[in-house]
Amino acid sequence: MKEFYINSDGIRLHAKLDRPDDTVKGALCILVHGFTGHMEEDHIVAAQKAMNEAGISVLRVEMYGHGKSDGEFRDHTLYKWVTNALAVVEYARNLDFVTELYMCGHSQGGLLTMLIGAMCADDFKAILPLSPAWMIPEDARNGIMLGNKFDKEHIPEKVASESWEVSGDYIRTAQTIHAEDSIARYKGKVLIVHGDEDTVVPFSYAEKAAKLYNDAELVPIYGTDHGFIGHLDELAEIITSFFKKEAL
Ligand code: FER
């Protein structure tokens, strides 16, 4: 494992690179956590190990205001995450051992994966949104954020729950994003994994995305919630077999 920082317009993004075999060239998957998440969460580490198991190198990166990356959590926005992710894609694309690129993200990182997939479609062999929170922009336009209500036409200075607080700019920017456009524009292969008992991002969004994408497979994990707790072995198995099939 190598640990380092990737520069995104002066913001240092904390990264870890895990390669199954550093003597050979091969595929690399960028892996991103969700809202309030980080790279050591159980489901992120399970995904990383599952990819390594299938021979795929993994670049875990923490986005603005998360984990050990620069920036305050309250100041993060999806625009900043998009800027960060574009810097990560450029970094990954220029690594000399990389033959093919993939991107995977959980929840808000899954939405990010959908947005970046469309922006950098030529870079990716496939994208893997896990429990993708692609209703965030729609919720923001409806005055809802993770169950917290606000005035959608008069954005407050901040939106807060008991455990987090974001500035109004999170809402302002989220309201401008149209994930359906990104879904329509990405023609490549998509693997969506989603728990059918997800209480944060309804499973119906995974079904809808799978239908809208040109070439998507939805693999449900039954009896599990947003972070796949208690079902990480199934998550790992789904990811490993996806990449093993990709290699055939
Ligand atoms: C929201 C619904 C889901 C939201 C965030 C999420 C910020 C994402 C959660 C996650 O990344 O785990 O309304 O607002």
Across the range 152-174, mean pLDDT stands at 97
Per residue in 40-51, pLDDT (tens digit) is 999 999 999 999
Q: Residue 220: its pLDDT value, please?
A: 98
> Which sequence spans correspond to the domains of the chain?
2-247
Taking CB atoms and a 6 Å cutoff, what residues make up the pocket around ligand 1?
34-35, 107-108, 133, 136, 139, 145-146, 200-201
**Position in ligand 1 atom list of the atom nearest CA 145:** 13
**Mean per-residue pLDDT for 208-215?**
98
pLDDT in tens, 59-80: 999 999 999 999 999 999 999 9
Amino acid at position 223, single letter:
G
What confidence tier does 248 reach under pLDDT thresholds 50, 70, 90? confident
pTM score: 0.98
The average pLDDT across 191-213 equals: 98
Q: Tell me the CA–centroid distance for residue 67 and ligand 1, in Å.
A: 17
> What's the 46 CA to ligand 1 centre distance in angstroms?
21
> How far apart are the CA of 16 and the centre of ligand 1, in A?
24
Fold classification of 2-247 (topology level): Rossmann fold (3.40.50)
